[in-house]
Structure 1
């Protein structure tokens, strides 16, 4: 026995923290403790089937979410920022679950990588939540959907599937749409929110690259072709379609070249 608390228990505690602001602070502390060697690489508890959620926002099925619209109204901008804040809040849990659920069979570097991602997502959430407050709203004021966590549930039994779907499909989609969203905000005169999205884009390239790197390592250990396995996993586990336009340069920088998605994109 090392006498140190286990990293699994620390991750589980963060996942079961309902208040998103408290969770964001806890994740950053968790990351520091792990980097400083204050947590043992021990997996002595299971991860929860679902993370704790606050009473608000109300979670709706994706097909019941109200349309935000593309106009430049204040209401539409608040709805956009709220949606982005929710994505980042759920992304904290996705990264924590990656580290806690699959870290048992991986080394400490794998856990460190995903705790780094979780800490980044916590910063993104905090920036967007603070921006919401300056716009006269707050996180939780509008409904949100739970589609991102549903993807985690579908891939909870297979690390390759989780890597293929969460960072390499869902987060990679952010690489495609974030630049255009930032530009639209700039045209509306909202430079402050656009700069937040610029930061998020730079970080998300690293997050997708984290996913592609671990996916490639997993494929090497299994003796399989990464692009071929990725395509088969996407066809099996992802219900939607991969739709252009694609930010090919950002995807290339993230280790996801066109050879992966060209054959199965619409």
Structure 2
């Protein structure tokens, strides 16, 4: 397949790829200086997103929690994290091709996110192999992509409810997961979690930046707009404890954090 050198066309092509390793390599091979046509109208030729036959997708309640004191338990956890990162690659690619008319910097920001998510996936998949497992060995759920489908016609909602809600949740839970891995003696996995948390602060910051820019453009109050969008799209309620330090670093202001912590 011949693919244009346009950044947004490349993103759509990569999104349609099914093999996770191929998708990650393709994304990591891009240059941030690729030309961008913000006005280009694109249409997929294959189902979105491209994904492998496995892992089998099940409702969240059917994804079992296993003890991290066993190798299998740690493998199941690393698999779940790898699945999140695979979905995160797809989410970044989708926002690049789907939403026309934004500044060039918008698309380059999300390309960088896609590349870092691909690096995360490769790190986790590589560690999974050391535990005797492979991506696809365990069932997984599709919550991240389901929210992407709900918000496919509204960029403001996508920014509010994917990077600022579902991905921001990772800022809250990553430190505890990292500590449990360390307690289980898996220093390599803990080091990967440190890298992911560092990068995810930047990804959520990008979501915050463009969400607030769109709110300003549309004359909306960011806190009130978020509450309305969360209700309209039935976003999951965010629950304490919150990693307030990481959320501040990711661009949440005090008014947003106060609203977040309301009962």
Q: Indicate whether the TM-score tops 0.5.
A: yes
Q: Tell me, in whole angstroms, the C-alpha distance in 1 between the residues paired with 2:54 and 2:154.
A: 31
Q: Tell me, in whole angstroms, the C-alpha distance in 1 between the residues paired with 2:18 and 2:148.
A: 18
Q: Please list every run of 5 or more consecutive structure 1 residues that lacks an aligned counterpart in the other structure.
A: none
- Is 1:111 the counterpart of 2:107 in the alignment? yes
> Which residue is 1:55 aligned to?
53
Q: Tell me, in whole angstroms, the C-alpha distance in 2 between the residues paired with 1:68 and 1:5.
A: 43
Question: Which whole-Å deviations, capped at 9, do the CAs of 1:172-216 have from their partners, x for residues lacking one?
Answer: 100000011111111111110000000000000000000000011
Deviation at 1:55, TM superposition (A): 1.0
- Is 1:87 the counterpart of 2:56 in the alignment? no
Q: Tell me, in whole angstroms, the C-alpha distance in 2 between the residues paired with 1:145 and 1:205.
A: 23
Q: Tell me, in whole angstroms, the C-alpha distance in 2 between the residues paired with 1:124 and 1:111.
A: 20
Whether contact under 8 Å (2:244, 2:257) holds in the other structure is no
> Which residue is 2:217 aligned to?
221
Q: TM-score, normalised by structure 2?
A: 0.93
Q: Which residue among 157, 182, 195 is the counterpart of 1:161?
A: 157
Deviation at 1:170, TM superposition (A): 0.7
Assess, with a 3 A threshold, how the Cα gap between structure 1 residues 241 and 41 changes in structure 2: closer, same or farther. Answer: closer
Q: Tell me, in whole angstroms, the C-alpha distance in 1 between the residues paired with 2:171 and 2:208.
A: 14
Deviation at 1:52, TM superposition (A): 1.0
Deviation at 1:232, TM superposition (A): 1.4
Question: Which whole-Å deviations, capped at 9, do the CAs of 1:230-252 have from their partners, x for residues lacking one?
Answer: 12111222342110000001001
Assess, with a 3 A threshold, how the Cα gap between structure 1 residues 49 and 213 changes in structure 2: closer, same or farther. Answer: farther
Q: TM-score, normalised by structure 1?
A: 0.92
> Which residue is 1:150 aligned to?
146
Assess, with a 3 A threshold, how the Cα gap between structure 1 residues 216 and 239 changes in structure 2: closer, same or farther. Answer: closer
Q: What number of residue pairs does the alignment pair up?
A: 258
Query: SS in structure 2 opposite 1:97?
Result: helix
Q: Tell me, in whole angstroms, the C-alpha distance in 2 between the residues paired with 1:139 and 1:88.
A: 11
> Which residue is 2:19 aligned to?
19
Deviation at 1:43, TM superposition (A): 2.0
Q: Please list every run of 5 or more consecutive structure 2 residues that lacks an aligned counterpart in the other structure.
A: none
- Is 1:242 the counterpart of 2:238 in the alignment? yes
Deviation at 1:72, TM superposition (A): 1.4
> Which residue is 1:253 aligned to?
249
